[in-house]
Amino acid sequence: LSKDLLPGPYRRTPEERAAAAKKYNMRVEDYQTYPDDGFGYGDYPKLPDKSLHERDPWYQWDQQDMRHNWGEPMHWDFDMYIRNRVDTSPTPVPWHIMRKHFLIFLSTMLIMFGLGGIYPTYRPVGPKQYPFNDLYLERGGDPNKDPPVVVHYEI
């Protein structure tokens, strides 16, 4: 590769930008760059952040698994946008509706679990029915008086 085919520094004049666009096999209108803020992007094109999932699966690409043709400029973060990683294809349901419905579901579940913990279900229980009038004499009742009838059940 000769020096003029390699990526270079940030291009300032329109002629340099046109030459860089031609170097990257792009049209001048499509050629956008990263801002020149010292992070080393240079004149590398800023391609739209679209993953390879969005490219046509049925078209006969030169590299079918990467869905990429020879000579096409690759995204700076191409390893993020391959088919095993991030998928940016449009979802059938808009993002904000998805997020809203999921959070409604999750919050409803958590609140109801909290309520279910405050009001649990259990088999009906009642106080224990002891014999001998609920142990009246054993609990220090007066043997001369009639014991009160205490019944903890219903028939």
Partner 1 sequence: MEITLLLNTSMLLTLTIILTPTLLPLLSKTYRNSPTTITRTVKAAFLTSLVPMSLFTYCNTESITSSWEWKFITNFKIPLSFKMDQYSMMFFPIALFVTWSILQFATWYMAMEPHITKFFSYLLMFLIAMLTLTIANNMFLLFIGWEGVGIMSFLLIGWWHGRAEANTAALQAVLYNRIGDIGLILNMAWLASTTNSWEIQLSHSPQTPILPLLGLILAATGKSAQFGLHPWLPAAMEGPTPVSALLHSSTMVVAGIFLLIRTHPILTTNQTALTTCLCLGALSTLFAAICALTQNDIKKIIAFSTSSQLGLMMVTIGLDLPQLAFLHISTHAFFKAMLFLCSGSIIHCLGGEQDIRKMGGLQKTLPTTTSCLTIGNLALMGTPFLAGFYSKDLIIENLNTSYVNTWALLLTLLATTFTATYSLRMTLLVQTGSTRIPTLTPMNENNPMASNPITRLATGSILAGLLISSIIPPTKTPPMTMPITTKTTAIIITILGIILALELSSMTHTLTQPKQGTYSNFSSTLGYFNPLTHRSSSTKLLNNGQQIAQNLIDSSWYKKMGPEGLADLQQTTAKITTTLHSGLIKTYLGSFALSILITALLTH
Judged by the rule CB under 8 A, the positions of this chain that interact with partner 1 are: 38-40, 65, 77, 80, 83-88, 91-93, 98-99, 101-102, 105, 109, 112-113, 115-117, 119-123
Least Å distance, CB 77 to partner 1, is: 6
Least Å distance, CB 106 to partner 1, is: 9
Q: What is the CB neighbour count within 10 angstroms for residue 141? A: 16
Q: Which is nearer to partner 1, 105 or 132 (CB)?
A: 105
Least Å distance, CB 4 to partner 1, is: 25
Task: Classify each residue of 5-38 as buried b or exposed e, where b means 16 or more C-beta atoms within 10 Å of its C-beta.
Answer: eeeeebbeeeeebeebbebbebeeeebebeeeee
Least Å distance, CB 99 to partner 1, is: 6
* Closest among 27, 47, 46, 22 to 36, alpha carbons compared: 46
Query: What is the radius of gyration, based on Cα positions, of the chain?
Result: 38
